[in-house]
Structure 1
């Protein structure tokens, strides 16, 4: 039996099975930067939020309903509608003088694509090497998830091969070092601008530089080389060796649910 009504990602999918593993947080910074490199998203964030003063506000506001749209079961459609409706009035003119709207399907799908690729990336790097079938499963679940937003599927590739070609094209031809993306990369060298909410000043003064240096390393590692070049983000031979050691360590880590994921899950279940 078929239905025209978009259905939630089914319980038991690969997205459900691995949700909450703390290692999924490791790709958060890179995922955000990939979004900010889209000219429309970068412009929207600068023009419609307090990004430079409150860089975490957008994330903390958006993530709970995004996660609910992903793994919320019967609540997922309503959550997806909330996420979509957050963006109804986000429009303007980007750095090149081009008009944009957050709900333009090409813009919206790119943001969604970064979340799908984030799942493929963290699982493959930090949990276990994904098989082609597992990557296919993530992609098919990502398509199901996207349909809940009620936005045109025109830009959405059909197959995993087509998605990978789309990803390569976007990284090479469409993404750029927008003002917002440059600011985010510069934060690696200026921990004061990236102090997370709730972290005491004294703690961040002590640990911030080390945390941001580690974040620079894992972000550079997950980004395609062409994207690193656009951002001026180095990933040297020494960095590769350091990161390889991190991967070994993280793969040995028990897949515990992170405190951040627990908080987000508690908000999703309300």
Structure 2
């Protein structure tokens, strides 16, 4: 049976993406910036994925430019249609991302490939988990039914990439077990992940497109906020592995900050803002298309 046939056969066990889906409702919400770079950091904590980024990406040379190239195809996968989306484009970006895993003695300790099913699925899992974390932390407490719905919709999303769905859990509860195992037993403090959160203690590097004088004025405000959102938005296990400073007092501040955004008045106000304020352009165009 071909991979395409396998994916088609499985469509009946998933839910569609579209205007009524929860994935659409939350993934393109501009409040998503409040979680910081959670999915990117967690992705790079899988050794094989972090090594692929280290060896092949422009992430270190120009982080902002790399994100600008990466994010649009992901959104176009989620907010595309079953017939027209960027899923296979995203997949094909990774065909040549492969190489040797370095061993403790400097010698190769196995191979990695971005399209290895377990590696590729982990990247997807961090994007789905960001929806759960964002919605539950900054919008509303999700019900069990909503969590399952998001998971079933995410399976349609993943299958748009056209890669093996062998590692994909069947239900949300299975995904929870998968996530806990990955966080507690598999992820590591890979140097790519460490670099990605280095600005928490060192300050954010000036983006190439920003004038030095402008950055000098912006950085004193931006850096503390970025550090707060980045560190607060990571799981405790990730903070520990990456040795990020975080106190009980900061945790209380973060929880108050999150509760403010979840509050009924703030949600009431947010829901009455123009669509183009609440959602990014990919989501707005998708909702207009229907």
* Shared fold per TM-score greater than 0.5: yes
Residue matched to 2:23? 15
Contact 2:200 2:244 in 1 (8 A): no
Output the CA distance in 2 between the equivalents of 1:226 and 1:210. Answer: 27
Residue matched to 2:4? none
Residue matched to 1:82? 89
Q: 1:1-22, CA deviations, whole angstroms, 9 ceiling, x for partnerless residues?
A: x953859624310112234322
Q: 1:128 to 1:192 in 2, by over 3 A?
A: closer
Contact 1:23 1:250 in 2 (8 A): no
Output the CA distance in 1 between the equivalents of 2:51 and 2:278. Answer: 28
Output the CA distance in 1 between the equivalents of 2:130 and 2:89. Answer: 22
- CA offset at residue 259 of structure 1? 6.4
Q: 1:82 to 1:267 in 2, by over 3 A?
A: farther
Gaps of 5+ in 2: 1-6, 104-108
Length-normalised TM-score, structure 1:
0.88
Contact 1:15 1:138 in 2 (8 A): yes
Q: How does 1:50-89 map to 2 (within 5 A)?
A: 50-76=58-84, 78-89=85-96
Q: Would you say 1:236 and 2:247 are equivalent positions?
A: yes
Residue matched to 2:232? 221
Q: 1:8-49, CA deviations, whole angstroms, 9 ceiling, x for partnerless residues?
A: 624310112234322112224111100111111111111112
Output the CA distance in 2 between the equivalents of 1:5 and 1:169. Answer: 25
Q: 1:249 to 1:48 in 2, by over 3 A?
A: same
Length-normalised TM-score, structure 2:
0.82
* 2:170 aligned to which of 138, 141, 158: 158
Gaps of 5+ in 1: none
Residue matched to 1:212? 223
* 2:112 aligned to which of 90, 100, 105: 100
Q: How does 1:133-148 map to 2 (within 5 A)?
A: 133-148=145-160
Of 253-262 and 93-102, more deviation after overlay is shown by 253-262
Of 247-256 and 46-55, more deviation after overlay is shown by 247-256
Output the CA distance in 1 between the equivalents of 2:115 and 2:140. Answer: 35
Q: Would you say 1:183 and 2:200 are equivalent positions?
A: no
Residue matched to 1:4? 9
Output the CA distance in 1 between the equivalents of 2:34 and 2:208. Answer: 18
Output the CA distance in 2 between the equivalents of 1:149 and 1:140. Answer: 16
Q: Would you say 1:122 and 2:134 are equivalent positions?
A: yes
Contact 2:45 2:190 in 1 (8 A): yes
Q: 1:177-211, CA deviations, whole angstroms, 9 ceiling, x for partnerless residues?
A: 11111111212223342x34644433322232432
User: Which one has a bigger Cα radius of gyration?
Assistant: 2
Give the number of aligned pairs. Answer: 266
Q: Would you say 1:40 and 2:52 are equivalent positions?
A: no
Q: Name the SS for the 1:98 alignment partner.
A: strand
Residue matched to 1:31? 39
